[in-house]
Chain A
């Protein structure tokens, strides 16, 4: 929660709504005064608990409420409607954003600047002063490309390590660190954005960005390093697993864990990097 949003808010609600991927619910925080949408991400790691004042709380979960672009959610409904019922027809928005499972989706219609938002992903028509919309894949891909570029810039600013290949090379050639390639950034950013869009659209975006299929060698190289650095950890009891290196090992894999993804997303919104967050001041002090 940003301090600002709390100060200004009149009422806030946690909502369970359709996730952009459509296959499960997700929890959102909706500020009904502004109005503004936040997504709730959970940091979850094995073998963690909280001491909260004079009590213990198992699980050790850490929830983040970060601002979310409502267009990702709207897109979910636009695509669904276009596919299932209105194929290529213009429709008023209140007939598109409907959900028996998650009726709170109508809140999305209350968002300010909705029309400006929708221009990124739809074609619109006005008949008798009522707006009608139609999903446009071409416009959506252009919008997503901008999102990828924006995310890339954030990754660079936050110095997120995106390249599995560069890391493994650096490891084996004795600490020679070269700068990450743009292509790696694009792929990484594409992966982050893909968490918010359906698989089909993600594939289309990949083609649109002319992303080559990742060669097999890129998908696997961290395994050797991961094994090496895991060894001292495995030798201990289960709950000895905490150390900052766990995170670093994960980061070097091209596939991230859910928590890792969540934190990478959090990075974008101006938070500190995961290293500074969980770890390892002692590393920096060395």
Chain B
């Protein structure tokens, strides 16, 4: 029974409303860790606007960047899964969440059970920067049209 419940993750509606805007960069390389890093110290201050768009470097490689916009009608969110113990610690939040769940009449009975996994949007975005290696971008084939 428990493993079945774990298949369901509840997304906090509150958090979707107005999360803070986030600065997002999609890099052309794999950094195999997830952790805080001083992006604002080593990366963003080095971004320049060159003749072909944004330029920056990472680990000694030149990068060229493009701002891409989230498709119309869509919104970007950075989601974070919350641990169960966080919920215990924030009892008040938890109660409010439950209340919201029960409130709409359309919620089926089965869903009134507690969700054991919660997810929140910690940030939102409407665009992000895609980075590619400068050399690759210069030598890329242009499209036929």
Footprint of B on A, CB under 8 Å? 1-4, 6, 9-16, 25, 29, 32-33, 35, 46-60, 62-63, 102-104, 106-107, 110, 170, 175, 177, 229, 232-233, 236, 239-245, 248, 266, 270-272, 275, 277-283, 286
CB <8 Å contact, B13 and A11: yes
Contacts of B61 in A (CB 8 A): 240
CB <8 Å contact, B52 and A282: yes
Contact with A along B2-13 (1 / 0, CB 8 A): 001001111101
CB <8 Å contact, B143 and A14: no
Contacts of A103 in B (CB 8 A): 4, 110
Given contacts A1-B74, A47-B28, A48-B30, are A54 and B108 in contact (CB under 8 A)?
Answer: no
Number of B interface residues in the complex (CB < 8 A) = 68
Given contacts A2-B74, A283-B143, are A106 and B108 in contact (CB under 8 A)?
Answer: yes
| A24–B33 alpha-carbon span in the complex (Å) | 28
| A183–B97 alpha-carbon span in the complex (Å) | 52
CB <8 Å contact, A11 and B100: yes
Contact partner of B139 (CB less than 8 A), chosen from A6, A46, A232, A239, is A232
Contacts of A283 in B (CB 8 A): 140, 142-143
CB <8 Å contact, A60 and B26: yes
CB <8 Å contact, A11 and B107: yes
| A229–B45 alpha-carbon span in the complex (Å) | 34
Can you list 28 A-B contacts with CB-CB less than 8 angstroms, sorted by A residue number? Answer: A1-B75, A2-B75, A9-B13, A9-B16, A11-B101, A11-B104, A13-B11, A32-B104, A50-B26, A52-B22, A52-B24, A55-B37, A56-B33, A58-B34, A103-B110, A175-B144, A233-B136, A241-B136, A242-B137, A243-B137, A244-B140, A270-B72, A272-B71, A280-B66, A280-B143, A281-B53, A283-B143, A286-B142
Contact partner of B110 (CB less than 8 A), chosen from A52, A106, A232, is A106
CB <8 Å contact, B36 and A240: no
Give me 9 other A-B pairs in contact (C-beta within 8 A), A48-B30, A51-B37, A53-B123 excluded. A1-B74, A1-B77, A6-B16, A14-B10, A54-B36, A106-B110, A240-B136, A242-B131, A283-B143
| A30–B68 alpha-carbon span in the complex (Å) | 27
Contact partner of B27 (CB less than 8 A), chosen from A4, A50, A53, A62, is A50
